[in-house]
Amino acid sequence: MVSSEKSARAGAPGRRAGTRGRPRSFDRATALEKALMAFWEHGYEATSVSDLTRVMDIGAPSLYAAFGDKRSLFEEVVQEYGARYGSFGARALAEEPTARAGAARMLREAAAEYTAPGRPHGCLVVHAAANCSTPEVEESLRRRRNANIAEIKSRIEADVAAGVLPPDTDATALARHTGAMIQGMSQQARDGASRAELETLAEIALAVWPRA
């Protein structure tokens, strides 16, 4: 009788041999978004693996299996951030007819993006570098910031060559000025500056741009 009961339980619907002890499945995209928000809010260094497993609602083995180590996860987070939240600058430069118009749109959209409700303020790429003591991560973020400035500089140089901007325009200085304003707006947003206040800064920043 006991043997029959065991057999019945073993063959009961919904029970399969070997399922005990399997890790709970999770939605990878949702977990990645939660990691993104954690890094965006706290930066790279201050976000521990235990913080990540807690907010992602997965165990450490699942995190390592799905994303690799913390640094690998962060690299994927930065890629995702760039695609979903940080691409407004590149679009502005590509879509506007002049470098000045592109910079104006970029600065104004930064004011909106960096203060958007429902998510951390500022820029993840700027904030994550604060107090970062991991050289590889620090260098990766530096390359991204410098690449953004290089894009602005290239657009300015194209306008100088086309006669849209004066021939004596210092493309390097103007690009770095624009990059410094965007990075500064990120920190100002984290310190509580409103969208309107950042938009005012954007207009002041544009006043230094030369006209043809």
| C-alpha closest to that of 90 among 110, 116, 118 | 110
Calpha distance 57→147 (Å, rounded): 34
Look up residue 23 and give its amino acid. P
Phi, psi for 128 (deg, rounded to 5): -65, -20
- Choice among 12-21, 44-53, 76-85 with the minimum mean pLDDT: 12-21
Look up residue 64 and give its amino acid. Y
Tokens of 197: 């206040």
**What local confidence, expressed as pLDDT, does residue 16 receive?**
41
For the segment 20-37, the average pLDDT, to the nearest whole number, is 78
Statement: residue 24 has pLDDT above 60:
no
Calpha distance 138→6 (Å, rounded): 59
Average pLDDT over the chain reads: 88
Calpha distance 114→168 (Å, rounded): 33
**What local confidence, expressed as pLDDT, does residue 97 receive?**
97
**What local confidence, expressed as pLDDT, does residue 25 receive?**
64
